[in-house]
């Protein structure tokens, strides 16, 4: 018989999946059986919840909240502040020019108040700010309308607004390339400075969009140790293990090569053995999808390039990666 994935990690950390209306419809049983935490893949992003200034669209998000309630799943909220999937109106004044920083922050406060209060008691942790740090170069923060219009203070403000709206929610800074040394050090620097200003931030989300080659286990370990040294909780928020390097576009593959599935199983096993070592600081590990029949990586970096990055195959059967992860100690 097949053990439940999350039960294999009982006493270590929650095991989550990103879900959307399509995967709830086509993989509802799998999700209910194997994951005890859920994240809405897209449905709680700014443009989805708040497409026009005076109108909110909560239907799709509410359905995910209802599903989580019915099945007794924890819920992470994703995400309040991001440069992607943010509507144009947010950054514009009535004439199509840029808004003032003051207006942008006032709009942010209204959005955060409305959304965070609505899901108070259902969502226990929010990715408050997503991907604000520059991947390369000397700059700490990446250029975005948030930074360009409101200045770097938008980050602290977002956390303050979220904390006012729901003082019990755990508030996270979430980013990718989080184990690359240069970006890791920038994330550390940002969080250290937020903490020293007394900003209510409680955790770091390591997205963990990894592949068979990068990052190495030593880099993952170094990132966990460095972040944990800040005294923050760590969540792995968007995990997947791509079979391919970022620039390897094998659009011709229709089935995963056996040797790559074996390499994937080995890496998943090693990664989870490492994560178990840090169970005192890692409280949650969420996969960015439930099974290989639907993953954002099938459309990234090019549309239609298949990938098989998760623990369950396209027929919702456990892959060898699943067994290594569950059996590893």
For residues 269 and 327, give the distance between their C-alpha atoms in angstroms, rounded to a whole number: 9
Cβ proximity to ligand G3I: between 67 and 269 the closer is 67
Choice among 131, 160, 178, 269 that is catalytic? 131
> Quick check: bond before 79 cis, omega within 30?
yes
- Tokens for 92, please give them: 């514009």
Cβ proximity to ligand G3I: between 132 and 326 the closer is 132
Cβ proximity to ligand G3I: between 166 and 238 the closer is 238
| Residue 37: closest CA among 80, 2, 60, 5 | 5
| Residue 282: closest CA among 89, 4, 16 | 16
Length of the chain: 329
For residues 254 and 136, give the distance between their C-alpha atoms in angstroms, rounded to a whole number: 34
For residues 73 and 174, give the distance between their C-alpha atoms in angstroms, rounded to a whole number: 21
Angle at 181 between CA 239 and CA 290, to 5 degrees: 5
For residues 194 and 201, give the distance between their C-alpha atoms in angstroms, rounded to a whole number: 7
Binding site for ligand G3I (CB under 6 A): 41-42, 84-85, 130, 176, 207, 238, 296
Choice among 43, 160, 238, 269 that is catalytic? 238
Residue 238 falls in the annotated catalytic set: yes
Q: Least distance to ligand G3I from the beta carbon of 103, Å?
A: 25
| Cβ pair 110, 71 in contact under 8 A | no
Burial class (CB in 10 A: 0-12, 13-18, 19+), 229: exposed
End-to-end CA distance of the chain: 19
| Residue 306: closest CA among 241, 238, 255, 240 | 255
- Tokens for 98, please give them: 């840029």
Cβ proximity to ligand G3I: between 238 and 269 the closer is 238
Residue 170 phi/psi, 5-degree rounding, is -85, 130
Alpha carbon of 18 to those of 47, 75, 296: distances in Å?
Answer: 18, 10, 10
Cβ proximity to ligand G3I: between 85 and 229 the closer is 85
| Residue 325: closest CA among 265, 279, 278 | 265
Cβ proximity to ligand G3I: between 78 and 324 the closer is 78
Q: Least distance to ligand G3I from the beta carbon of 240, Å?
A: 9
Q: Least distance to ligand G3I from the beta carbon of 169, Å?
A: 19
Cβ proximity to ligand G3I: between 130 and 321 the closer is 130
Coil, strand or helix at 131 = coil
- The closest residue (CB) to ligand G3I is 296
Q: Least distance to ligand G3I from the beta carbon of 289, Å?
A: 8
Kindly list the catalytic residues: 131, 238
């Amino acid at each position: 018989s097949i053990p439940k994935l999350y039960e294999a990690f009982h006493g270590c950390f929650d095991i989550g999946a990103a879900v959307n209306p399509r995967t709830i419809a086509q993989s509802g049983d799998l999700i209910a059986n194997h994951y005890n935490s859920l994240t809405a893949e897209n449905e709680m992003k700014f443009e989805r919840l708040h497409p026009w200034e005076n109108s909110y669209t909560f239907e799709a998000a509410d359905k995910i909240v209802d599903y989580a309630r019915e099945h007794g799943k924890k819920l992470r909220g994703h995400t309040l502040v991001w440069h992607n999937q943010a509507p144009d109106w947010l950054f514009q004044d009535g004439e199509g020019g840029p808004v003032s920083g003051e207006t942008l922050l006032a709009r942010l406060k209204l959005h955060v108040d409305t959304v965070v209060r609505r899901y108070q008691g259902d969502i226990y942790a929010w990715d408050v700010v997503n991907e604000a740090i520059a991947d390369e170069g000397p700059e700490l923060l990446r250029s975005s309308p948030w930074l360009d219009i409101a200045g770097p203070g938008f980050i602290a403000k977002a956390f303050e607004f979220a904390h006012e709206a729901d003082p019990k929610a755990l508030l996270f800074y979430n980013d990718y390339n989080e184990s690359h040394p240069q970006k890791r050090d920038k994330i550390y620097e940002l969080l250290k400075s937020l903490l020293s200003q007394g900003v209510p931030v409680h955790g770091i989300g390591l997205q963990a969009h990894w592949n068979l080659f990068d990052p190495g286990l030593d880099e993952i370990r170094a990132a966990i140790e460095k972040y944990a040294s800040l005294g923050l909780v760590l969540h792995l928020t968007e995990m997947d293990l791509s079979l391919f390097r970022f620039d390897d576009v094998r659009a011709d593959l229709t089935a995963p090569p056996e040797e790559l599935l074996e390499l994937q199983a080995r890496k998943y096993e090693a990664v989870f053995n490492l994560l178990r070592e840090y169970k005192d600081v890692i409280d949650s590990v969420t996969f960015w999808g439930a099974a290989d029949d639907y993953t954002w990586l099938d459309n990234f970096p090019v549309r239609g390039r298949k990938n098989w990055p998760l623990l369950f195959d396209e027929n919702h059967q456990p892959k060898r990666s699943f067994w290594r992860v569950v059996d590893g100690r």
